[in-house]
Structure 1
Amino acid sequence: MTANYKPVQPARLFGVHATPRNWHKLVLGLLPFILIIALYAYASHARKLDNPDDKLLPGFSQMVEAMQPLVMQPSPRNGQYVFWADTLSSLTRLALGCSLAFVAALWLGLNMGAFRGLEASASPFITFISMIPPLALLPMLFITLGVDEVGKVALIFIGTFPLMTRDVFIATKAIPREQLVKTLTLGGTQLAYLYRIALPQIMPRALDTFRLSLGAAWLFLIAAEAIASTDGLGYRIFLVRRYLAMDIIIPYVAWITLIGFLLDWALRVLARRLYPWYAGVNSK
């Protein structure tokens, strides 16, 4: 009986003990995209058979034809390539708002987690403002700060700063207090503990928080551009919607999604390169 025993091979695709190979992961990852594209192509073709002038589900060739002037031809009005100018404007606002929020949240959350007096005074306020719907503040921001870049950047900042701060604060509080005691015992200062001991430990968690906040930041950016702007990805989408130009709206939405995916991937790679030990801890 022992001679005929065959060890059970672990599942490759499904099951709690499955260990998919790299090409399995690639195929499984691409499968939903292929299915969605095929389903859309079928639905678009079916609607075109019933109504050749249908605008709801344009074909891929229609999208390419509609996007070509925006991507490859300068605008007669200002000489800019509309698609790339919109992308640059939106990414500039997103980068400013998120970067300012990240730096401010990193500083405040780190200090709140280390100094209990600051925690007692700032933590209730941060918790309170994190409950305010940022989009409800949009009219107030445009009235007080104007409809230029400041108001849009401020909305992204307000929408992402409180949650980033709370997450950095929680990560700092989780650091064993013994590390502070040892630092002071060995002659280090409180600031040395804060920026040389605590900061490197929470940075990968802070980058994760920044990465996860990008989705909300995109929401606030698109809302701000849709209401008061003269350029940007959100502005263009809401400008052409009055003409039912789905052949422009769909590529713009897909482009926004692709940018968000690439930013998320880049931040994950950055965190893995700078803090390989953090990736090892999270994989356990």
Structure 2
Amino acid sequence: MKRLINIRPSRGGRWLLGALPFVLLGLVYLGLSRARLAANPNERLLPAPSTMLETFHQLATEASVRTGTIPLWGDTLASLERLGLGVAISALIGLTIGLLTGGLPLLRAKLSPLVTVLSLVPPMAILPVLFIAFGTGEMAKVALIVIGVTPFLIRDLQSHALRLPDEQLIKAQTLGANSWQVLLRVLLPQLTPRLLASTRLALGSAWLFLIAAEAIAAQDGLGYRIFLVRRYLAMDVILPYVAWITLLAFLLDRALARVSQRAFPWYHAEEGDAS
């Protein structure tokens, strides 16, 4: 008898099993929505799917009277610009410091305690400080993402560097490599795919910081739109926007995964279907 632990679904089976929870959640929502609408046709907490689709279509096709832009695409572009800039800066800083602290014990002794402490500071707690320091413009929103994501990337990359076999470093030095050559020729190629994997894990937090910053001080963006309509209990706007954010996050995650698999196939050789 084949053990459950050894049963692996086919590619099509994985898609079906992955879609099953979403189908079940959709059926549960549809049942609850119909029940509440039957009791109260003006129910706004759980709008019908047709109502949400109609609203989403309007947001995606009709220009705003106030700004002259189409709300969905304007909000999406603004949020993706902030998110992309914040994550890119975080990745650059994280890779640089993670590489140096992972490869140079002197720097690790100096910077590791500081990075550890910074990683424990709740980024949302210093959001008012950022608004005071940078104002309510784009800088504060990007800075919140950088402050929230960078310490995680640094610690993860440093830990990965320390887990690499010592034999690699010894062999490189035996062949005459100096410190910078070891960092750039031995550590950097192995930390780069790890950076992509860590960035995928950090995207959820980056979205959280972005939405929070846009909700407090912004004139556009996905988070701004959600909190703008919350006072009207406009769930037909909020729920589609949440689903849209989730779809964008999923696509970004898949894009990073595909880039990593194409650029560093050796890194994923033993992952199977985990990614």
Shorter-chain TM band: over 0.9
Of 126, 129, 146 in structure 2, the residue corresponding to residue 140 of structure 1 is 129
How many angstroms apart in 2 are the aligned matches of 1:217 and 1:69? Answer: 28
Alpha-carbon shift at residue 34 of structure 1 (Å): 0.9
The within-5 A match list for 1:4-43 is 8=1, 10=2, 15-43=4-32
Segment drifting more, 86-95 vs 63-72: 63-72
Match of 1:274 in 2: 263
Q: Distance in 2 between matches of 1:91 and 1:251?
A: 17
How many angstroms does 1:60 deviate by? 1.1
What is the DSSP-based 3-state SS (H/G/I as helix, E as strand, rest coil) of the residue aligned with 1:16? helix
Q: CA deviation at 1:64?
A: 1.9
Paired residues for 1:100-249 under 5 Å: 100-249=89-238
SS of alignment partner, residue 215 of structure 2: helix
Match of 1:4 in 2: none
Q: CA deviation at 1:97?
A: 0.6
Instruction: Tell me the CA shift for residue 255 of structure 1.
Output: 0.4
Alignment of 1:72 onto 2:61: yes
1:75-97 deviation per Cα after TM superposition (whole angstroms, max 9, x unaligned) = 22222111100000001100111
Alpha-carbon separation, structure 1, partners of 2:84 and 2:35? 41
AA in 2 matched with 1:188: A
Tell me by how many angstroms 1:63 deviates. 0.9
Q: Any stretches of 5+ residues in structure 2 without a counterpart?
A: none
In structure 1, what is the Cα distance between the partners aligned to 2:225 and 2:263? 37
RMSD over equivalenced CA pairs, Å: 1.4
Provide, for residues 203-228 of structure 1, a one-character-per-residue CA deviation record: whole Å limited to 9, x for no partner: 21111111100000011001100001
- Which residue identity is paired with 2:240? P
| Pair 1:44 & 2:33 matched | yes
Q: Give per-residue Cα distances to partners, 1:51-76, cap 9 Å, x unaligned.
A: 00100100011112222322101122
Matched residues in 2 for 1:161 and 1:182: separation? 31
- Residue 80 of structure 2, aligned match among 82, 85, 91: 91
Residue 239 of structure 2 is aligned with which of 250, 257, 268? Answer: 250
Q: CA deviation at 1:184?
A: 2.7
SS at match of 1:281: coil
Quote how far apart the aligned CAs of 1:266 are.
Answer: 1.3
- Tell me which structure has the larger Cα radius of gyration: 1
With normalisation by structure 2, the TM-score equals 0.96
Tell me the distance in 1 between the aligned counterparts of 2:258 and 2:47.
36
Tell me the amino acid that sits aligned with residue 87 of structure 1.
T
Which structure 1 residue ranges, 4+ long, deviate > 3 Å from structure 2?
none
Paired with 1:236 and 1:71, the residues of 2 have a C-alpha distance of 13
Equivalent residue pairs, number: 273
TM-score (norm 1): 0.93
Counterpart of 2:169, as a letter, is L
Q: Distance in 1 between matches of 2:236 and 2:211?
A: 19
SS in 1 for 2:269: helix
Amino acid of the structure 2 residue aligned with 1:263 = L
Pick the aligned partner of 2:254 from 250, 265, 271.
Answer: 265
- Residue type at the aligned position of 2:60: V
Partner Cα separation in structure 2 for residue 279 and residue 179 of structure 1: 20
Partners of 1:202 and 1:190 in 2: how far apart?
A: 16
Amino acid aligned to 1:243: Y
